[in-house]
Amino acid sequence: MTYRLASRSVEALRGLDLSIDGPGFFAIMGRSGSGKSTLLHLLGALDKPDSGTIEVAGTRVDQLDERSAVAYRRRGIGIVFQGFNLIPTMTAVENVELPGLLGGDDPAMLRPRAMELLESLEIADRATHRPESMSGGEQQRVAICRSLLLKPPVLLADEPTGNLDSRTSEQLWKLLARVATEHETTVVMVTHEPEAAAHCRRVHLVHDGVCVDAFDTEGMDASGVAARAGRALG
C-alpha cells in the first residue's frame, strides 16, 4: 500500500502476510508509522490496496467496488475508532440503532436488540442520554454496541482507548475480550500499548509495513508483551 506525500511516495505496507483465525481477541501492535492503522483500514474497506489479496470472513475485500464496500462495512464488520463518532443530537439507544435504520431495517425490531446490547455492556441506564452527558468510557461502550448491532463476525478497533484514562482503558480492554467470547466475534484491535495487547489472545507485530512476529499471550503480562515486542521491533 503506497501513499503519495508531496513529491515522494511512502510505502505503508510492503507485502504484509497475516492470518487471523477467530473468534477471539487479537492485537495488531506496532509503533507509530508502522502501518498498523493502514492495515486496519484495508481490512475495513476504508482504503483499497494497490495489490494483493484481502479476505475477511469469506469476503474478498480487495475486489469490492464502492457500493459493495458500503454494504460490507454495514453488515460484514463492525468498526470502533478512537473518536467515538456518535451523533450528538441522538440518544445512546438511537445511536446504537443507526446502522440498522440506515439499512432500512424495521425500527420495531431494532430497539430490543439495541437495548439488549446496552444491557450486556452495562450501559443501559444511559440509553436515553445524549453523548454530551456521558463520559468518554460510556460513549465508547455505546460505540461498541452500535458496531455489534447487526451481529458482524468481525469487529475492528483502531486504538479504541486512545482518548480514555488508564482506568477506563483497562475496563474497555476487558470488555472487548468479553465481547469476543460472549458474542463469538473476532475482535482485531490496533494498538501500540503492551497493556492493551496483554488482554488479547494473540499479538501480531508490525514494523515498517511488514509483520515481523506473532505470539500467543497466555501466561504473559504487559511487561512480557513489551519485552517480546522490544526484541522483535528493535
**Per-residue pLDDT tens digits for 175-227:** 999 999 999 999 999 999 999 999 999 999 999 888 999 999 999 999 999 99
Q: Helix, strand, or coil here: 204?
A: strand
* pLDDT of 128 strictly over 70: yes
* Burial call 83-108: b when 16+ CB within 10 Å, e when fewer: ebebeeeebbbbbbbbbbeeeeeeee
Which residues are CB-neighbours of 146 under 8 A, at least 6 positions away?
A: 78, 86, 95, 96, 98, 99
* pLDDT of 123 strictly over 50: yes
What percent of the chain is predicted at pLDDT more than 90?
A: 76
Calpha distance 207→14 (Å, rounded) = 10
* pLDDT of 42 strictly over 80: yes
* pLDDT of 84 strictly over 80: yes
Which residues are CB-neighbours of 196 under 8 A, at least 6 positions away?
A: 27, 161, 169, 173, 189
**Angle, CA 37 vertex, CA 34 and CA 38 arms, to 5°:** 85
Could you give the angle at which helices 92-102 and 107-120 cross, rounded to 10 degrees? 130
Calpha distance 41→186 (Å, rounded) = 16
Place of cell 474478498: 60
Entry pTM: 0.90
Calpha distance 146→150 (Å, rounded) = 8
Are the C-beta atoms of 10 and 165 separated by less than 8 Å?
no
What's the confidence (pLDDT) of residue 5? 42
Band the pLDDT of 234: cuts 50, 70, 90: confident
Mean pLDDT of all residues in 110-118: 96
Calpha distance 230→234 (Å, rounded) = 6
What's the confidence (pLDDT) of residue 75? 86
* pLDDT of 107 strictly over 70: yes
* Helices and strands: H and E segment counts in the chain: 8, 10
CATH class of 14-86+137-233: alpha beta
Band the pLDDT of 22: cuts 50, 70, 90: confident
Band the pLDDT of 3: cuts 50, 70, 90: very low
What's the confidence (pLDDT) of residue 12? 59
- How confident is the prediction for the chain on average, in pLDDT? 91
What's the confidence (pLDDT) of residue 136? 95
| DSSP state at residue 29 | E
* pLDDT of 167 strictly over 50: yes
Side-chain-side CA neighbours of 200 within 13 Å: the count stands at 29
Number of residues that this document lists for the chain? 234
CA distances from 199 to 43, 143, 176, 205 (A): 21, 20, 9, 15
